[in-house]
Amino acid sequence: MADYLVIVESPAKAKTIGKYLGKRYTVKASMGHVRDLPKSQLGVDVEHDFTPHYITIRGKGDVIKELREAGKKVKRVFLAADPDREGEAIAWHLANILDLDPSLPCRVEFHEITKDAVKDAFQHPRAMDMDLIMAQQTRRILDRLVGYRLSPLLWRKVKKGLSAGRVQSVAVRLIVDREREIRAFQPEEYWTVDAAFQLPEGRFQARFTGYDGEKTPLPSRADAEQLLEHVSGEVFRVREIKRSERRRNPSPPFITSSLQQEAARKLGFRAYRTMAIAQQLYEGLDLPDEGTVGLITYMRTDSTRVSEIAQAEARDVISNRYGTQYVPSTPRTYPTKGNAQDAHECIRPTSVRRDPEQLKAHLSKDQYRLYKLIWERFLASQMSAAVLDTTTVDITAGRAWFRANGSIVKFQGFMAVYTEGKDDADEDDERRLLPPLTASQELPQPALTPEQHFTQPPPRFSESSLVKEMEERGIGRPSTYAPTIETILKRGYVVLDQRRFMPTELGEIVVDLLVNNFPQLIDVDFTAHMEQELDLVEEGRVDSIQLLDAFYRQLEQDLERAEKTLEHVHIEDEVSDVQCEKCGRMMVYKHGRYGKFLACPGFPECRNTKPIVKDVGVACPQCGKALVERKGKRKTFYGCSGYPDCEYVLWNRPTGSLCPECGHPMVEKRTRGEVKVICSNEAAHGGVVASGAKREASRASSDRRKRSGAGSAAQRAPGDGPSRAVRKSAKSS
């Protein structure tokens, strides 16, 4: 019989650490939280210091019974939930249920699930951190007060089923404000003039910069034509050459927000998917000769700290693989932001010696891709700086001044392993080479190209840039970004269009209502300040009752005023020209998490829904009918409008042109942020697209068959909801 009971959150984690601890330990999973505030009522006694009323979560009765029985059979119980606010709260609720004294050393904490880390943690158990627990409870109560006091007002005044949240509403406001900034944007015309020089040593290009050494814009065609007239017949001469050596340092290792951003940029992962896969890598996977082992450190962190052991191991791997010149003289450290919690390390491999390629056969495709990203980022963060030779050439023609920039990588350094992605494409001069030039050198007459441009509005938020904005402005915490984004999509306040967030009419109405009636609640600075106050509660420097009381008093005043002044807002559904084939009504546009779809207005009597398809201007190479854009569960795809008779499918966006060799559609293929135009029929050019297209057709067909089944209690967009694999992994977390 075992002497000790260890309780963790998930079966995967229990399986991993159970193998490290041996037969004296029984390891069981609580399956996440076991107690929470009731769903049917506020569950907070605002008259008595905001005392929460916790109840057992529905369906957890058998789990609690099993844990209680197991606890009676052992000498001691250890609580080993995740090392963060939520983990501490789970442990505290378990202690209450099992009648454990939280002041005794029953809490075990480890930041990576490896044999040494787990065994060391059990040598140093601690008491519960009551400040950490109080911070989590205060956050939970704040969110409950907002949700359960404000949401009913939205139901009465706008639409049933709406919700407001302390963080989610501010996230929607960011998206709405950006959209309105885009609408209000007035483009301004400007022109550029490029000079292309052809020398025996090579071709290069310079751009007009100004007159007489001063920067001068070209706001109109007339200005561009005046420049062309000015340089006509003038000698183009190299005036000055500036050469310099520039050192480029690596990016720091991942924290939660930067991992979500980079996985979105480079892998196309949603934040929710990134965290679900990272949870699997953290909790442990089976490897040959090692058994079950955690591959990365804890994935919810805002610290860039790296342990000395991990630094030493990385330096050894870098030296053996790339050479000593790639190892900096001293280990690299990175400053942690002022409001970051430094209890955890960065997100890194538990052992950098586990090369991604060695593990590839034992990981799923997504697990391998995310692990490889984390491994490369961490290894690069401990490498020498890259060295670039940069050259700036100033060229004159009369009074006109042109400039050419270029650089070459003199020493790759960390760039041999990894470079950070970008949210929006920027012009990159780093690999633009310039031919040998000398000062006062006369150049041949160039080909001059004037080009009209217009200033562009700020881009819509991608998931990566939205996470970055929330982080920079102090809205939420690393663990809240993914669920916040999922919530605002699920509620229909925003939609994703080509991986960019757009507010729906409903989202804009709700934001305006909140701004006009609850200005403090939806204020970005106030929300950021509240996060700082919660951090101070965690540090024991702010009284949680006073914080809750001040917040609640203001909320009640705003609610009382809004009840009297706010008029009912009616949202009319936009009617389409598509007739419901089941009942004859004209279908209306609805918003789901993947964008607009068509629904019958006769719901719930008629539950008919249809996806909105868009002709992409290309004929199906198999049957000649039009290819149309469709929304799938995972991404947008392009299928034949003759489905189900023709199941031709493309997952890459057609360009509108056809391959001159085989007549199949040309498509845009994105690889590591780079867009290439290729033929979709790779098989005809030595590729293997045929089998891939067959799989995609099968998956699309399966998605359609599932959508054609019976309706649910509420209308859904076709393909609503995350994939089963993501839901399953998220549940286990």
Residue pLDDT, tens place only, 257-276: 999 999 999 999 999 999 99
Whether 32 shows a pLDDT value over 70: the answer reads yes
Q: Are 100 and 85 part of one and the same domain?
A: yes
Q: Are 606 and 618 part of one and the same domain?
A: no
**Domain extent at residue 170:** 137-185+460-565
Q: Stretch 519-524: mean pLDDT, rounded? A: 92
Q: Give the per-residue pLDDT at 593.
A: 59
Q: Give the per-residue pLDDT at 1.
A: 64
With CA atoms as reference, report the closest residue to 554 among 520, 588, 577: 520
Which of 45-54, 71-80, 292-301, 688-697 has the lowest average pLDDT? 688-697
Residues 6+ apart with CB under 8 A from 560: none
Cβ burial, residue 295 (10 Å; 0-12/13-18/19+):
buried
Q: Are 394 and 450 part of one and the same domain?
A: yes
pLDDT, one tens digit per residue, over 350-382 is 999 999 999 999 999 999 999 999 999 999 999
Which of 155-169, 427-441, 500-514 has the lowest average pLDDT? 427-441
Q: What are phi and psi of 642, to 5 degrees?
A: -90, 10
Give the domain CATH number at 229: 2.70.20.10
Preceding omega of 604 cis (within 30 degrees of 0): yes
Q: Which amino acid is at 440?
A: S
Q: In this predicted model, which residue has the larger pLDDT, 687 or 31?
A: 31
Q: In this predicted model, which residue has the larger pLDDT, 640 or 716?
A: 640
Helix axes 168-184, 505-517, angle to 10 degrees: 110
Handedness of CA 77, 78, 80, 81 (dihedral sign): positive
Q: Give the per-residue pLDDT at 674.
A: 61
Helix ranges (H only) for 497-543 are: 505-517, 524-538
Q: Give the per-residue pLDDT at 721.
A: 34
Preceding omega of 644 cis (within 30 degrees of 0): yes
Q: Give the per-residue pLDDT at 80.
A: 96
* Number of compact structural domains in the chain: 6
Confidence label for 149 from pLDDT (cuts 50, 70 and 90): very high
Q: Which amino acid is at 477?
A: R
Q: Are 168 and 236 part of one and the same domain?
A: no
Please identify which residue in the block is written with the tokens 């006509």: 232
Angle at 675 (CA atoms; ends 670, 681), nearest 5 degrees: 70
pLDDT, one tens digit per residue, over 536-586 is 998 899 999 999 999 999 999 999 999 888 888 877 778 888 899 999 999
Q: Give the per-residue pLDDT at 414.
A: 96
With CA atoms as reference, report the closest residue to 648 among 613, 681, 678: 681
Q: Give the per-residue pLDDT at 171.
A: 96
Helix ranges (H only) for 190-251 are: 221-231
425-432: Cβ within 8 A, 24+ apart: 425/673, 429/390, 429/405, 430/388, 431/407, 432/405, 432/406, 432/407
Q: How far apart are CA 372 and CA 580, in angstroms?
A: 48
Q: Are 618 and 718 part of one and the same domain?
A: yes
What pTM did the predictor assign? 0.79
Whether 244 shows a pLDDT value over 70: the answer reads yes
Q: Are 665 and 721 part of one and the same domain?
A: yes
Q: Stretch 440-464: mean pLDDT, rounded? A: 95
Whether 707 shows a pLDDT value over 60: the answer reads no
Q: How far apart are CA 306 and CA 313, in angstroms?
A: 11
Q: Give the per-residue pLDDT at 424.
A: 55
Whether 336 shows a pLDDT value over 80: the answer reads no
Q: Give the per-residue pLDDT at 709.
A: 38
Q: Which amino acid is at 587?
A: M
Q: Are 619 and 604 part of one and the same domain?
A: no
Whether 437 shows a pLDDT value over 60: the answer reads yes
Is residue 198 within a helix (H) or strand (E), and if so which, with residue range?
strand 189-199
Q: In this predicted model, which residue has the larger pLDDT, 324 or 665?
A: 324
Whether 688 shows a pLDDT value over 50: the answer reads no
Three-state SS for 729? helix
Three-state SS for 511? helix
Please identify which residue in the block is written with the tokens 């979105």: 264
Whether 713 shows a pLDDT value over 70: the answer reads no
How many other β-carbons are positioned within 10 Å of the β-carbon of residue 150?
24
Q: Are 351 and 464 part of one and the same domain?
A: no
Confidence label for 663 from pLDDT (cuts 50, 70 and 90): confident
Q: How far apart are CA 366 and CA 347, in angstroms?
A: 17
Q: How far apart are CA 395 and CA 108, in angstroms?
A: 67
Please identify which residue in the block is written with the tokens 């934001």: 511
Which of 52-56, 229-233, 239-243, 664-668 has the lowest average pLDDT? 664-668
Q: Are 617 and 724 part of one and the same domain?
A: yes
DSSP string, 604-668: TT---EEE--EEEEEE-TTT-PEEEEEE-SSSEEEEETTTTT---EESSEEEEEE-TTT-PEEEE
What letter does residue 107 receive in the DSSP assignment?
B
Give the domain CATH number at 17: 3.40.50.140
Q: How far apart are CA 468 and CA 464, in angstroms?
A: 6
Please identify which residue in the block is written with the tokens 């106030």: 526
Q: Are 236 and 305 part of one and the same domain?
A: no
Handedness of CA 320, 321, 322, 328 (dihedral sign): negative
* Whether 78 contacts 125, CB under 8 Å: yes
Using the 3D structure, point to which of 409, 434, 454 is the last residue of a domain.
454
pLDDT, one tens digit per residue, over 598-612 is 999 988 889 899 887
Is residue 674 within a helix (H) or strand (E), and if so which, with residue range?
strand 674-679
Average pLDDT, the chain: 87
Q: Give the per-residue pLDDT at 704.
A: 40
Q: Are 9 and 124 part of one and the same domain?
A: yes
Strands 4-8 and 25-29, sheet pairing: parallel
Strands 609-611 and 595-599, sheet pairing: antiparallel
Whether 4 shows a pLDDT value over 50: the answer reads yes
Residues with catalytic function: 298
Share of the chain above pLDDT 90, in %: 65
Q: Give the per-residue pLDDT at 340.
A: 53
Which of 71-85, 164-178, 297-311, 419-433 has the lowest average pLDDT? 419-433
Q: How far is CA 469 from CA 174, 242, 465, 633, 712, in A?
A: 9, 37, 6, 27, 36
Q: How far apart are CA 109 and CA 10, in angstroms?
A: 15
How many other β-carbons are positioned within 10 Å of the β-carbon of residue 651?
20
Take residue 176 and report the two structure tokens written for it.
């709405």
Three-state SS for 495? strand
Q: In this predicted model, which residue has the larger pLDDT, 429 or 591?
A: 591
Whether 678 shows a pLDDT value over 60: the answer reads yes
List the beta strands (DSSP E) in 376-493.
386-397, 400-411, 442-443, 447-454
Q: In this predicted model, which residue has the larger pLDDT, 158 or 91?
A: 91
Q: Are 607 and 617 part of one and the same domain?
A: no
Three-state SS for 165? coil
Whether 10 shows a pLDDT value over 80: the answer reads yes
Q: Which amino acid is at 96?
A: N
